[in-house]
A and B are shown apart, each in its own frame.
Chain A
């Protein structure tokens, strides 16, 4: 296996100073873990420890929930304009520190600085601004049932919410949950993923004093020690979770014991479908579609909606895939702190091992490796980082690599003959989070997305995540719609006031 030499140090973004360890953020203050214990945070870039995180437990979670409840008595009654202005302040601070937070996120997660600067952090800014905006324009509803009876519907925040955040977009996924919850008037206890516990604490160093104390609390730690007490606490009124199906079910079990609502985002196995008309011309659109297929490598494939199944019409397979393979081979790997690097490290060692296991099972099942298929080795101090080559496997939809979320830079390619077959393959999956449809045919571009059982269908584009377009799953991908004002209602109750203006009794008694 060849070994690549990564960029000279001078082209790398400078590493900021980290504290040797980060405490929890509870009730507006840095709070050491009640156990006194910390755990190492390893950067996937080089496999080395770069700081430590507090090892939270049930006592820490309880303290955070109590702080959130104390804060809720006033925060839940604040004016929308007040909350909106604070969210705008947070957005501004993130924007003013965008380059710094992007570097921190890259070190914590391993993704390329190109993406944290151009996508993760700008989207964090925008989602805070979006939710700051929508709560200023919202209104309740009123209906006059008859001359003397009026029904008024008002929104009330649901209370204290627990949020469990994944490690693939640590700051952005936290924002997807925190921004609507705060906008709705809830107080929050967040448990970041144990692989990426640091970037959110660096963010809290910047924004911690913007909000009243206790409104936003962050407790780091392991799932079984900190996540479980949060998800099962009888003192939280709602739990939001992004992750996998078994933990999703377990959190729903806990929620059933407490009779509270949950929202779940549990991943997918998204089809990206390229119809025959894509290759009608070798033009800008064809080039865009080729890039659309290669977007499986964005964020090293660690995206719930990774377009991990490429479905290509058999008539254009050769022409189209030749270009896709060529473009995939041109992906520049290396140190993610190098601004020219296009794909960085997988977020953790176990994730890296899991991807390699899937490459193994794919080969055992007879999938053909079109490109990649191995770990990516490089020197210059990155020998122990977690790098995988962008990989294209050709096979059929019954193979396990076509059915399971590898959560790595691996796309599985197959062909179809008819539109009906494309739809059947697209829907032959347990999940229904995302899908892509690429066509020049005006009928296909409406009818096919409607036939696909997924919450988000990108048409002639992929991997756009703007605020103001709802995101969430069908089937086993979960429920709830984030990144849109409809998420506010997942953090609220409806208060109905049914008012009689009549002076006459009913006459029953």
Chain B
């Protein structure tokens, strides 16, 4: 089954490290200025999602959300949660460790898009 969000081994390892100290986690994909377009990692429930958000799936047991209107512009791409060196700003949990969660993207094939649309209709 085609997933909208997947994670690299490095991202999963970082999630496990953060979960050890912070408990259950969640992600919300940001948009806009500065650290926009980067994923934000919070303790589960810290960020209140609502009817304006969609859940793209789970990575290593953590739900990954995005604003629905932003998703509308992103939905033709698969998101790959990765980790890079560097220091973003924002309240994302990994930043004090000198690394940053990072969203890479891959354009879905036509077959994958048909399959994903089938999933959302079923």
Contact = CB atoms under 8 A, between A and B. Distances in A.
Interface in B86-104: 86-93, 95-96, 100, 102-104
A463 to B, nearest CB: 15
Contacts of B37: 244, 354, 358, 404-407
Contacts of A166: 33-34, 89
A205 to B, nearest CB: 23
A16 B34 CA distance: 27
Contacts of B107: 361, 364-365
Given A227-B91, A404-B36, A364 B105 contact: yes
A180 B11 CA distance: 42
Given A228-B91, A246-B28, A403-B73, A349 B35 contact: no
Interface stretch (A111-119, A143-151, A265-273, A370-378): A265-273
Given A223-B91, A476-B31, A246 B47 contact: yes
A282 B23 CA distance: 64
Given A193-B89, A430-B70, A222 B33 contact: no
B106 interface: yes
A364 B77 CA distance: 10
Interface string B14-38: 0000000000000011111111111
Nearest to A366: B107
B interface residue count range (under 10 / 10 to 19 / 20 to 34 / 35 or more): 35 or more
Interface residues of A, number: 54
A431 interface: yes
B33 A350 contact: no
A266 B84 CA distance: 23
A383 to B, nearest CB: 16
A206 interface: no
Nearest to A37: B96
Nearest to A227: B91
Interface in B43-57: 46-48
A249 interface: yes
Interface string A170-197: 0000000000000000000000011100
Contacts of A398: 73
A247 B40 contact: yes
Given A194-B87, A223-B92, A246-B90, A357 B105 contact: yes
Given A244-B90, A247-B90, A350-B85, A407 B106 contact: no
Contacts of A489: none
Given A350-B102, A353-B86, A250 B67 contact: no
A296 interface: no
A221 B23 CA distance: 23
A405 B48 CA distance: 24
Given A353-B102, A400-B74, A266 B33 contact: yes
A247 B104 contact: no
A152 B37 CA distance: 47
Contacts of A304: 33-34
Contacts of A249: 47
B33 A267 contact: yes
B47 A250 contact: yes
A100 to B, nearest CB: 25
Given A195-B87, A225-B96, A245 B32 contact: yes
Contacts of A477: 32
Contacts of A248: 32
Nearest to A249: B47
Contact of B105 (A55, A224, A400): A400
Contact of B93 (A167, A224, A351): A224
Contact of A244 (B34, B87, B93, B102): B34
Nearest to B39: A246
Closest A-B pairs by Cβ, 3 of them: A267-B33, A350-B86, A267-B32
7 contacts: A195-B88, A246-B40, A247-B40, A351-B88, A358-B37, A364-B106, A430-B69
Given A223-B92, A247-B30, A304-B34, 14 more contacts: A55-B96, A167-B89, A193-B89, A244-B34, A244-B38, A247-B91, A250-B46, A250-B91, A267-B33, A353-B102, A361-B107, A406-B37, A407-B33, A476-B32
